[in-house]
Amino acid sequence: MEVFWIAAAVAVIAWTQAKEEITRELRQWLQFQTETGRNILVRKLAYMFTCEFCFSFWVSLLALVVFRHRVAYDDWRGVVLAQFVTWAIANVYMTGYSMFRTDIRKDQIEIKKEESKVDRRRDGRMTAAAKNE
């Protein structure tokens, strides 16, 4: 059960670094390094911090070192399994959150379209009323 909580923390950290406004400047600098880095190692390392799915792998590895959790086995197999299970669950969380945000944005766009239609109708009626006066 603890793997689900750790995966949630991994997802939040990875999503925040890769998508949220609070880390925008760092992300823009890393994106610049991804595009203009001197060698392939610099470009790939910089990309790792701008992709939420890539970054979540390394965050889940760090969580594994910090929390020392295991899945199914108490030996090295449980550690390896914990790494991939944590990473997979974190990716499911991030995908679900992304789909949820997409639905919200879509609803907001539809609301704005309706509001603009109402405003145009109201403006048209006001113009017609002004002509009649």
pLDDT digits (tens, 9 = 90+) for 51-106: 989 999 999 999 999 999 999 999 999 999 999 999 999 999 999 998 888 878 78
Q: Is residue 116 part of a domain?
A: no
pTM, two decimals, is 0.73
Number of domains in the chain: 1
Query: What mean pLDDT is reported for the chain?
Result: 88
Helix (H) or strand (E) holding 71: none
Instruction: Say what the pLDDT of residue 127 is.
Output: 61
Q: Is residue 13 part of a domain?
A: yes
For 72, the domain range is 2-108
Helix (H) or strand (E) holding 114: helix 76-132
Q: Is residue 73 part of a domain?
A: yes
Residue 133 pLDDT level (bands cut at 50, 70, 90): low
Q: Is residue 115 part of a domain?
A: no
Q: Is 131 helix (H, G, I), strand (E, B) or coil?
A: helix
Q: Is residue 113 part of a domain?
A: no
Q: Is residue 130 part of a domain?
A: no
**17-31 pLDDT tens trace:** 988 899 999 999 999
